[in-house]
Structure 1
Amino acid sequence: MRSLKKTRRVQVILLAAVALALATAIIGYAMRDGINYFRSPSQVLSEPPAPNEVFRIGGLVEPDSLVRGESETVRFNVTDGGASVPVTYTGILPDLFEEGQGMVGQGRWTGERFEAVEILAKHDESYMPKEVIDALEEQGVYRAPDAAAAAD
Structure 2
Amino acid sequence: MNPTRRRRLAWVLALVAAAALAATLVAMALSRNVAYLYTPNEVLSGQAGPKVASGEARFRLGGMVAEGSVGRQEGSLESTFAVTDGDARMDVTYTGILPDLFRENQAVVATGRMQDGRFVAEDVLAKHDETYMPKEVADKMGQAHAKHDVDDASGAGR
Q: What TM-score do you get using the length of structure 1 for normalisation?
A: 0.73
Is 1:41 the counterpart of 2:45? The answer is no
Selected match of 1:59 from 59, 63, 79: 63
1:112 aligns with one of 95, 98, 117: 117
Report the CA distance shift for 1:22/1:126 in structure 2 as closer, same or farther (over 3 A): farther
* Cα distance in structure 2, aligned partners of 1:64 and 1:30: 39
Which residue in 1 is equivalent to 2:133?
Answer: 128
Tell me, in whole angstroms, the C-alpha distance in 2 between the residues paired with 1:129 and 1:111.
Answer: 28
Name the % identity. Answer: 44
Residue equivalent to 2:88: 83
Which runs of 4 or more aligned residues in structure 1 lie more than 3 Å from their structure 2 counterparts after TM superposition? 16-26, 124-127
Task: Find the partner of 1:69 among 64, 67, 73.
Answer: 73
Q: Is the 8 A contact 2:65 2:103 kept in 1?
A: yes
How many residues align? The count is 140
AA aligned to 2:70 is L
Aligned equivalents of 2:17 and 2:135: distance in 1? 38
Counterparts of 1:128-147 in structure 2, within 5 Å, are 128-140=133-145
Q: Give 2:136's aligned amino acid.
A: E
Contact kept? 2:58, 2:113, Cα under 8 Å: yes
Gaps of 5+ in 1: 1-15, 142-152
Shift of the alpha carbon at 1:58? 0.6
- Return the alpha-carbon distance in structure 2 between the equivalents of residues 63 and 52 of structure 1: 29
Whichever structure has more helix as a proportion of its residues is 2
Unpaired segments ≥5 residues, structure 2:
1-14, 47-51, 147-158
